[in-house]
Amino acid sequence: VPPLVIARPAELAEPSMSGAYRFYLGSTHAHSGYSGDHAKTVATKFNNGAADYARHAPAEVFAKARANGLDFYCLTDHSSPEQNEFYKNGFTDEHWAATKRQAADATTPAFAPIVGYEFSRNVDPDHGGLGHMNVLNAPDWYSAYAPGHTFAWLYDRLGGTRRAAVGSGGGDPVIVAQFNHPQMPGGAAVKNFNNYKGRTKATNDVVRLAEVWNSTDRMGYVPTVRKIWALGWKVAPTAGTDLHGPVGMENRRIRTGVLAEALTPDAVVRALHARRAYATLEPKLHLEFTLNGSTMGTALPARPPGDLTAKVFANDPAGAVITRVDLYGGKYEANGGGTQVLAAVPVPPGKRTVEATLPGGYDFYYAAVFKEGVDTARAFTAPVWMDDD
C-alpha cells in the first residue's frame, strides 16, 4: 500500500493563474454495489452465490472516497439490466433514485458526489459499435442493451435534446459524456465506439471527456486519445479509478483534475463540460495550461495569427518535484494527423509557472508534465483547439 499522501495545507487552496478557479481532484469513473458485475463478485466470494445489492451501496463508496481525500467522485454504475442474471436486478429506477439520494446526503462543503451511469455495449446486434460510455449528471438513465440504443442514438438523445447546452434557459442539467478505456479504431469487435464515427459540433456538446488512464498508470490509452483528437473530437483527458465498490481505493492514485469555481457537484460538472480538466498520476497535482491567454479546453472561434504564447502552471502540494513541461502540437487527420513535441521546457527549482513561444499551424495544442526521477509523463492537460466546429 503506498504511503498516505500528505499535502502542504496552505497550497491546497491556491488559485488558478487567472484567479477565477481552484483546483479539485477526483474520479470520473467508479461503481457501487448496484453494478451487476460487482454483484456477481459479491455473490461468488461472500454470499453463497446470491447477489447482494446492499453491500457496498453508494453511501459507503462516497464515504470511502471522502476519507481518502478525493474532492469529487462520480458513481457510474452499469446501466444494462438485460445483460445477465446479475445485471437484471442490479440497476433499476429504484437504484438510480437511491444513488441520487445518497449522493445528496454525502454532499458537504469539502466533498462533491456526482451521479451518472455507464452505457456499456458489449454486444452489437444492430452494428452500432461497442464500447463503454459514462454519462454524468443526466436526469434519466438508458440501457445500452435496449433495441436500437446505439451510440448514434445516445448522441442524438443527449445532444439533440440540447440538454447538454450550458445556459440553455430551460433549466435542463448540464450533461457530460466520456469515452471509457477507449481503444484504437480498427476491427468490428473492438470497443472503439464504432470507430468514433458521428462527431459533429452537436455531439461534441455532450461528449467532452476521454480516459487517458483507467485503473492503473499504464500508458496504453495515450496514443488512443491522441488518435481521438486527430479524428476531431474535442475531449479533455481524464483518469478514472473504475473501482467496483470501495475496496482498494486507497491504492488508486490516478485522478482527474478540474479548474472549478467552487467545490459543488454543479461547479465540477460545469468545469468538466468546459473541459477545464487534466488527467494526472499525482493525486494532489495542480495543473493549468493556457494558450494566448485561453484556458485549456477552449475551442477558439478563429486561429490567432503568428506565434503563440503557452503558459503552464504546475505545483504538487504533496511534494512531487516537477522538472519539465512538454508542449505538443497536433493535427487533424484531414491535415496529416500526428502529434509532436514543440517545446521541452525545464522547470527551475522553486518555479511553478513556465512559458514558451510555439509556432502556429497546428490544430490543437496541449501540455504534459514530468517529475523528478520518472521518464514518462505524469499528467496531460486538455488541449486548446484552433476551431469551434
pLDDT value for 354: 98
Report how far residue 267's alpha carbon sits from residue 37's, in angstroms, rounded to the nearest whole number.
31
- Return the closest-CA partner of residue 256 out of 5, 62, 7, 26: 26
Q: Which residue has the higher pLDDT, 125 or 111?
A: 111
pLDDT digits (tens, 9 = 90+) for 124-136: 989 999 999 999 9
CA angle 156, 162, 168 (to 5 degrees): 175
Residue burial 145-183, b: 16+ Cβ < 10 Å; e: rest: beeebbbbbbbebbbeeebbbeeeeeeeebbbbbbbbbb
Residue that the C-alpha cell 459499435 belongs to:
129
What percent of the chain shows pLDDT beyond 70? 92
* Cα 248 to Cα 238: distance, rounded to the nearest angstrom: 20
Higher local confidence (pLDDT), 103 or 86: 103
First to last CA, the chain: 45
Which residue did the predictor score with more confidence, 86 or 265? Answer: 265
Question: How many angstroms separate the most distant Cα atoms in the chain?
Answer: 68
pTM, two decimals, is 0.95
Mean pLDDT along residues 78-99: 78
Q: Yes or no: say if 289 and 236 are a contact pair by the CB < 8 Å rule.
A: no
Phi, psi torsion values for 360, nearest 5 degrees: -75, 180
Q: What is the mean pLDDT of residues 336-346?
A: 97
Q: Map residue 150 onto helix, strand or coil.
A: coil
- CA atoms 307, 204, 267, 61: torsion sign: negative
Residue pair 379/369 in contact by the 8 Å Cβ criterion: yes
Binned at pLDDT 50, 70 and 90, residue 14 comes out as very high
- Cα–Cα distances in angstroms (integers) from residue 375 to residues 68, 282, 300, 324, 368, in the given order: 27, 14, 32, 10, 12
Q: Which of 22-36, 143-157, 166-180, 283-297 is predicted least confidently?
A: 166-180
Say if residue 106's pLDDT is above 90. yes
**Mean pLDDT, residues 64-75:** 97
* pLDDT category of residue 164 using cuts at 50, 70 and 90: very low
More confident residue, 86 or 280: 280
Q: Report the pLDDT value the prediction gives residue 53, as an integer from 0 to 100.
A: 73
Type and span of the H or E element at 42: helix 36-45
Give residue-wise pLDDT tens across range 204-255.
999 999 999 999 999 999 999 999 999 999 999 999 999 988 989 999 999 9
H or E stretch at 11: helix 9-12
The count of C-alpha atoms lying within 13 angstroms of the C-alpha of 73, restricted to the half-sphere facing its C-beta, is 36
Give the pLDDT band of residue 165 (cuts 50, 70, 90). very low
Residue bearing cell 438513465? 141
Collapsing DSSP states into helix, strand and coil, what is residue 204?
Answer: helix
DSSP bridge partners of 355: 311
Contact criterion met (CB below 8 Å) for 209 and 238: yes
Report the 10 Å Cβ neighbour count for 54.
10
Q: What is the rounded CA–CA span in Å between residue 346 and residue 287?
A: 15
